[in-house]
Chain A
Amino acid sequence: MTNYFKLFLTFLVASVVLLACTKGDLPVDEDGLLITQRAECAVTNFELLGSDLQTVRSKAPTIDTTAQTVNVEVFFGTDLKNVYPQFSLSSDCKLEPKVPGKMDLSDLANPKVFTVVSGNRAVRKPYTLIIKYQP
């Protein structure tokens, strides 16, 4: 009976140690984010909020994953100096540069470029954010 108990205890301890080691082995990047095996790298959705935290888009954004562009049309009178962009990305991806919250996107002649980095950090795709006013 005692032997069975000892055997069970040993098995339990070994399992805990093994599990703990598996998690600890995954690498983490400079932002503390997990580096995974995923190579997918794309913008999947985009939202743009005004200073009142309401959408300023006049219609759904057009995301071209081949041309790597995000086209957004905003309402007449939108204050693009004070907007909050929100990117949705493929699983495990991250964005560079980081979106700090409120941004100035008013320079329509020089669209901002955001780079999507895949989960395995091996693929990098720059996306151009093209904004225009509703005609």
Chain B
Amino acid sequence: MRLKLQVHKFSLLLLSVVTLMIACQEKEYMIPNPVSQLSNDAIKRSLGPNIVGFLPMEFAYAMALPRTQGKLVSAQVEASIAGATGTFLEHRSFYTNGAGFDVPVVVGSPSVNKGNLTSVTFNVDTNAATLRYYYVVPEEARGKAVSFTFSGTSSDGKTVSYKMGPYNISKMDIKRTLAVTNNTNAYISIEDMAVYNATNAATNASKIDLVYLYRAAPAAFTHALVSPAAGAQYLPGVTLPADINRSTKLRKVFGVPDFNLVRSFGSYTSSTASGNYIDDLDFQEIDLSSSPNFAVGMRAESGVWAETADGKYRAFIFVNTVNNNGSAVISMLRYVLK
């Protein structure tokens, strides 16, 4: 019995020592192998949906090789769908200075677009550079996916490449800062993404989806977006031009600050807008079948989801600012349903 106890104690001691040894064993830091050849990397800098003809998609492409092996000769990007006018690859490499500002250094000649290719030829002796690429989304990419192949060549004849994407291109269109005023520029067309006065509205009667109104009374009315076909109590004192009679479904929302719609106003300080975007999926999934055809009591930073009477378009109309003299500034995202 005593011998058994001693064996047990010994085993426990041995186990403790082994555990301690394993626990104390430090993993030595391994110095990473320095880059010994031409290498590259890329990131996408822009956020949010990729909208045709709107802000370009922005990338940063970095290339480097050891000084002993030569210098950079050229860089190029191949897009699966050629970019629209304005697409370019920076011929300047940027670094961030102590104050946090990006400082450009010219490293090559301005980029050249040839079909799907955008390229820059280096004209300085450099073995490292980060070039930015701005892809203006063309109309033919709408609703499709686009991918990019970045590549760099060095003077020792080596080439590297880096694939990015595919990225879905939105079917949305955007229009910002449309001024609306009570009784004058009050007729809104979602199809045209435009605001008309009564005369122009009459000539585009079949496209007028909403009327902007401001009424101080009743107190809950204030700024309103109302369908021409809404009840008379929602269009007080309004005489619509002939044939303007569409009924647009509307859902009032608050706290949906799409960053693209919001940021046209530099003074906007809401942190909730940053990084928030409305995307195609939002338009595809929203159900407005039970929604009314009027929205009263609109205020700054509120908005409406809208669906046109013919079911052809859905839109999100954001109220950027309101003025109680009877005017407002709105911005619009529009999605084609059919």
B-contacting residues of A (Cβ < 8 Å)? 50-54, 58, 75-77, 79, 81-82, 104, 134
Contacts and interface: CB of A to CB of B under 8 A. Distances in A.
Interface centre among B220, B291, B296, B302 (most CB of A within 10 A): B220
B252 A52 contact: yes
B290 A104 contact: yes
B255 A53 contact: yes
Contacts of B296: 76-77
A75 to B, nearest CB: 4
B253 A77 contact: no
B291 A82 contact: yes
A77 B221 contact: yes
A51 B220 contact: no
A54 B221 CA distance: 15
A52 B305 CA distance: 11
B292 A54 contact: no
7 contacts: A50-B252, A51-B251, A52-B253, A53-B254, A58-B220, A76-B220, A79-B291
B53 interface: no
A80 B62 CA distance: 56
B218 interface: yes
B247 to A, nearest CB: 14
Contacts of B290: 81-82, 104
Given A52-B302, A77-B234, A134 B291 contact: no
Given A52-B302, A58-B220, A75-B220, A81 B292 contact: yes
Given A76-B296, A77-B220, A77-B221, A51 B234 contact: no
Nearest to B230: A77
A83 B262 CA distance: 27
Given A77-B296, A82-B290, A82-B291, A51 B218 contact: no
Given A52-B302, A104-B290, A79 B252 contact: yes
Given A79-B291, A82-B290, A82-B291, A51 B252 contact: yes
Q: Is the interface of B mostly helix, strand, loop or mixed?
A: strand
A79 B292 contact: yes
Range for the number of chain B residues in contact with chain A: 10 to 19
A134 B218 contact: yes
Contacts of A76: 218, 220-221, 296
A102 B14 CA distance: 66
Interface string B233-261: 01000000000000000011111000000
Given A77-B294, A79-B292, A134 B255 contact: no
10 smallest CB-CB distances across A and B, nearest first, come from A77-B296, A75-B220, A52-B254, A76-B220, A52-B252, A76-B218, A79-B292, A52-B253, A51-B251, A81-B290
Contacts of B254: 52-54
B253 A51 contact: yes
Contacts of B302: 52
Contacts of A81: 290-292
B138 interface: no
B297 interface: yes
A71 to B, nearest CB: 18
B298 to A, nearest CB: 10
A125 B54 CA distance: 58
Given A51-B251, A51-B291, 19 more contacts: A52-B252, A52-B253, A52-B255, A52-B302, A58-B220, A75-B297, A76-B218, A76-B220, A76-B221, A76-B296, A77-B220, A77-B294, A77-B295, A77-B296, A79-B251, A81-B290, A104-B290, A134-B218, A134-B220
Nearest to B256: A52
Contacts of B253: 51-52
Nearest to A135: B218
A67 B248 CA distance: 41
B263 to A, nearest CB: 21
B237 to A, nearest CB: 15
Contacts of A75: 220, 297
Nearest to B294: A77
A111 B138 CA distance: 55
Contacts of B224: 77
